[in-house]
Every structure is written in C-alpha cells, then in structure tokens.
Amino acid sequence: MMKLLGAVLILLSTTTTGFRFAKGYADRPRQIRQLRTALSLLETEVTYGLRRLDQVCEQISIREESPIRDLFGRCSEHLRQMDGVSTYECWKKAVDETWMQTAMKRAEKEIIVDFGKTLGVSDREDQLANLNRAQHNLQVEENRARDDQVRYEKMCKSLGILAGALIIILIY
C-alpha cells in the first residue's frame, strides 16, 4: 500500500512539473500579445490624448490583465511617487519589479527596456516611431514564442508523465 502511494505521489509530482513547464510555453505568446495590445493603447494616447504618462499607464493597467497590468500599474505609481526621477528610471524599475511574474524571456525584456529609454523624452513622431519599432520587435518574438509553444508544450507534458513512470520503474 505504501509503495502504491509513493508511486502515485512521484507520478503526480513529475506530471505537475511537466505541466508547469508547458504552461510557461503557453503563457509566453499570450503575454507578448497582451504587451503589444498595451503598447497599442499607449500609441493611441500618444497620438490623440492629452493626459500625462502616469494617467495613461494607470488607464492601461485598468484595462489589461496581470502581469501586464502590474507592469503599467507599477510604472504609474513610480511616476507619481518618485519626484525628479526620469521616466526611463521609473519604467525600468517597474519592469525589474514585475518581470519575474511573466513567462517572457530576456529578448522581450530588452525590447521593453530599450523602448523605455525614449518614453516621454522626445516629440510625438519619434515616440510613435519607437512604439512601432517595439511592437514590430515584439511581433517577431511572439512568432518565435508560438513556434516554441508548438514545439515544446506537448513534449514537456509528456516528459513529466514519462519521467515519473521511469522513476517508479527504477525505484520499484
């Protein structure tokens, strides 16, 4: 009876691990798409809006889901609370604080941090050009993430189950 219980626990734990890895592959393209949507909202505000950046970030955080909500919410807070600090430093701090909650990788982080360097420091046309460049780069990364999802998601699930079966066979 104890052996059976041990085998079930081993199989459940390895299967759960495999499914968690697979979830990362499924979440990454979705979160990149959310980020691109948020940048589209920001682009609309830059084009037509007259609100301050902290208000725009707060509005985006209301409309988006977590973890993108958290990124823009933290940026809005930093812009309001950190008086005298550059927009880039507020943006970078928000990215650093919230990035571990995402399934996104270093490439996406570099795109977003690079975008933050020009956020709020140039004219409207330059801002729009930088937003378009960031969205294009994120589109490329989203395509790569979808390819990775197709390639690795099912494999992670299968490996979790098979690894548990192998451990059970080797132990018993």
Q: What is the pLDDT of residues 102-131, one digit of tens each?
A: 999 999 999 999 999 988 787 888 888 999
Distances (CA, A) of 86 to 58, 119, 121, 124: 18, 10, 9, 18
Please answer whether residues 35 and 112 qualify as being in contact, where contact means their C-beta atoms are separated by less than 8 angstroms: yes
Radius of gyration of the chain from its Cα atoms, rounded to whole angstroms: 21
CA distance 43 to 51: 12
Mean local confidence (pLDDT), 74-87: 90
Query: What is the tens place of the pLDDT at every residue in 130-154?
Result: 999 999 999 999 999 999 999 999 9
Burial class (CB in 10 A: 0-12, 13-18, 19+), 104: buried
Domain positions in the chain: 11-171
Query: What is the tens place of the pLDDT at every residue in 47-71?
Result: 887 888 889 999 999 999 999 999 9
pTM of the predicted model, to two decimals?
0.87
Mean local confidence (pLDDT), 165-171: 91
Q: Which of 122, 45, 110, 100 is nearest to 76 (CA)?
A: 45
CA distance 64 to 21: 24
Give residue 101's region: left, alpha or beta (phi > 0; psi -120 to 50): alpha
